[in-house]
Amino acid sequence: MPNPTRRDILGYACLCAGLAAFPALAAPQDWQFGSIDGGTLSFSEWAGKPILVVNTASRCGFTKQYDGLQALYDKYRERGLVVLAVPSQDFKQELASDEDVAEFCEVNFNLTLPMTTITHVRGAKAHPFYEWLAETQNFTPSWNFNKVLIGPDGGVEGLWGSVTRPQSKAITAAIEPLLPRS
């Protein structure tokens, strides 16, 4: 650019600063959680797929939503949907250990969907995924069974509270356009 003005330089600097923020928006593809079954669950494994992330608890009035989460996973798994359960003790309603949570979910709900280890979803110890949601979407789980739909491109496609059931029209209407036709 010949003889840039101060305004041109400031505009370019602002543009570069704005572009520097984009990696944070694409970061969901790289986040990792400990798997309740051992090992790691990585968003990069599910790149290009929609992911419904739900913070859960075993002793909550909404715990019966596990049935709906599993049914949703069963219905759309072959078309690419991932349903990720994130047990959390942040609301003081989770069991004492990952092993207890895994056994509870297997015995009571026969869950086959991916599940993380017990994870903080709010506050100073929140997992980076939840920190990102708070920063970019102004969304912090207010209770157990809040739902976040991440699109195939890594962007947020929907946010729902505890009272919205996993198989609700609001959630399925957001998921279906993100899946290939069967």
Residue 60: active-site member? yes
Task: Give pLDDT tens digits for 77-119.
Answer: 999 999 999 999 999 999 999 999 999 999 999 999 999 999 9
- The CATH classification of domain 24-178, taken from the options 3.50.50.60, 1.10.10.60, 3.30.565.10, 3.40.30.10: 3.40.30.10
Query: Which of 8-12, 40-44, 146-150, 160-164 is predicted least confidently?
Result: 8-12
Task: Give pLDDT tens digits for 22-70.
Answer: 333 444 458 999 999 999 999 999 999 999 999 999 999 999 999 999 9
Whether pLDDT at 19 is above 80: no
Backbone angles phi, psi at 89, to 5 degrees: -100, 10
The pTM of this model reads 0.84
What integer pLDDT is reported at residue 3 of this predicted model?
Answer: 55
State the pLDDT confidence band at 6, using cuts at 50, 70 and 90.
Answer: very low
State the pLDDT confidence band at 127, using cuts at 50, 70 and 90.
Answer: very high
**Domain boundaries along the sequence of the chain:** 24-178
What integer pLDDT is reported at residue 54 of this predicted model?
Answer: 98
